[in-house]
Chains A and B, each alone.
Chain A
């Protein structure tokens, strides 16, 4: 088919590039529709044809582009370049300009390549970002090829290992491992990786340039080639030396603790069996002698007997309570539901003898709330406190004991905990002893037959229940109130 002028004109008008023909003195001779759309969207053909370039694009004579046009005209040689040009109604566009002589005139074809440039830019940014990420992420990264040779490492890798890049690229990755790790890598991990394309959290030990050994966790993914064969790897290594150290420390601590516990168990066993044996002998033979000399012993002798027997009894009590104290620590934060009303009525039944003898006035608040704990241990606490209240009183004065509960004074704890109290009207406790009385073997009154373990035991039990125990007293003659807090039991 012969290309007619008409066809050619159609082609010219339909093109997505701008075509324009200019006279040697830079007047616009002809152009296509795209030229109009691009450069003069608001003008008509008649407005622009025959106009000088400086009229069409005011200020163009000051641009480089104008200079280049002039040079092409002068040299009669074509030129191509790309530049950023402001277009009417649009942001700056990247335009590819192709200018060439046509007889004495010259033609200009422009192509808008903004999209292309933007894509390129984006790719460039992505690549740059990837490089930045690769180099600056505080994780050691490397790649190896199918032979296991390092093809790339990041800066962090080099930093940590202490090598220059040149000393590493092309070396086998296994050369940086301890012999044990190397064996695992060569025999298991690497063959596996090149089959599956993935390695997850494998532990290795690698050697730095300075000889230091580092525990690391390695994960890698395969990079596939066009045939879907694994071409190389992208591997990440995390330093777990500290974690390993911590694990090892923890293991040895647990071992130590187990040994200590076993020792404590043996000690406890020994206390409950061996240390009590001599007391059995003392008491046993004392009573034998006592029977033998019944009727002939003087009051003095009988009093001496009482003293010896009392001392042995005290020793036995001390041992029992110490054992109790050592057993308490076994169970931390017990959280069974405990009915404190039941606990209290058990104690009152247990103490019935003393209560009848001392005839105190007992004021007990009904409906004590349920708590979380170990009922047997909590009974010990309540019992100790009530026994103390019965024991420490002012001669000739009616004993009044008040037992009840109230919200926790600390608003932060009031939600979770409840406070119980045992209040007496005894001699009271001076403020300077308020902390001390909860320490082991601390007794304020040597005439009393306590062991100095009771309140220490209460303290320990409440502590292990996650609560606290304290005393309030204005000092001598005003009585004392013992408080202890426990976690409320809330049915879920």
Chain B
């Protein structure tokens, strides 16, 4: 049996609701991969993170993420705007963006994909567990799916 050395997966979590962020963090622990989660709470902050400015200059402390988990409803700069920014940038557009929203609205879903979202997940309000969804997502993106890790 060989132990594969898996590189650390860096995840940028853009989520203004601290409760949801906490739920996501805890759920991703279940996936049991080496991952670092960088949490920012609005679109502008997320933009600064990716551009390495306004406090995010250090690329070791704040590396370019391999995956972005994005809430749509954000203060200052909306999730859609941020998505548009990412997907219009030569060096950033290859980063998969998973939209995670409370909205099931067809309009929101369509707009997200029109802005090149890579996935759209609806935060469950019902009996289906939120953590189950996040675990599944983590399992898919970190384990099943091959991310481009340089």
Do A287 and B129 have beta carbons less than 8 Å apart? yes
> Is A309's beta carbon under 8 Å from chain B?
yes
> Is B48's beta carbon under 8 Å from chain A?
no
> Is B26's beta carbon under 8 Å from chain A?
yes
> Is B108's beta carbon under 8 Å from chain A?
yes
Number of chain A interface residues as a range = 20 to 34
> Is A254's beta carbon under 8 Å from chain B?
no
Q: A276-311 CB contact bits vs B (8 Å, 1 = yes)?
A: 110111011101100100000000000000000100
Which 5 A-B pairs have CB atoms at the shortest separation, nearest pair first? A316-B125, A284-B130, A273-B73, A276-B102, A279-B125
Do B130 and A277 have beta carbons less than 8 Å apart? no
> Is B23's beta carbon under 8 Å from chain A?
yes
Do A284 and B23 have beta carbons less than 8 Å apart? yes
Residue of B whose beta carbon sits closest to that of A320? B104
Please measure, in the bound complex, the distance between the C-alpha atom of A461 and the C-alpha atom of B127, giving whole angstroms.
29
The residues of B that contact A268 with a CB separation of less than 8 Å are: 105
The residues of B that contact A315 with a CB separation of less than 8 Å are: 125
Total residues of chain B contacting the partner, CB 8 A:
22
The residues of A that contact B102 with a CB separation of less than 8 Å are: 272-274, 276-277, 280
> Is A313's beta carbon under 8 Å from chain B?
yes
Please measure, in the bound complex, the distance between the C-alpha atom of A327 and the C-alpha atom of B105, giving whole angstroms.
9
Residue of B whose beta carbon sits closest to that of A376? B106
Please measure, in the bound complex, the distance between the C-alpha atom of A395 and the C-alpha atom of B126, giving whole angstroms.
28
> Is B103's beta carbon under 8 Å from chain A?
yes
Contact residues of A: prevailing secondary structure: helix
CB of B113 to closest CB in A, whole Å: 17
Knowing A272-B102, A272-B108, A273-B103 are in contact, say whether A283-B19 is a contact too (CB < 8 A): no
> Is A234's beta carbon under 8 Å from chain B?
no
Knowing A273-B72, A273-B102, A288-B131 are in contact, say whether A281-B108 is a contact too (CB < 8 A): no
> Is B17's beta carbon under 8 Å from chain A?
yes
Do A284 and B73 have beta carbons less than 8 Å apart? no
Residue from A280, A288, A309, A316 with most neighbouring chain B CB atoms (10 Å): A280
Do A285 and B125 have beta carbons less than 8 Å apart? no
Do B123 and A280 have beta carbons less than 8 Å apart? yes
The residues of A that contact B23 with a CB separation of less than 8 Å are: 280-281, 284-285, 288
> Is B32's beta carbon under 8 Å from chain A?
no
The residues of B that contact A269 with a CB separation of less than 8 Å are: 103, 105
The residues of A that contact B108 with a CB separation of less than 8 Å are: 272
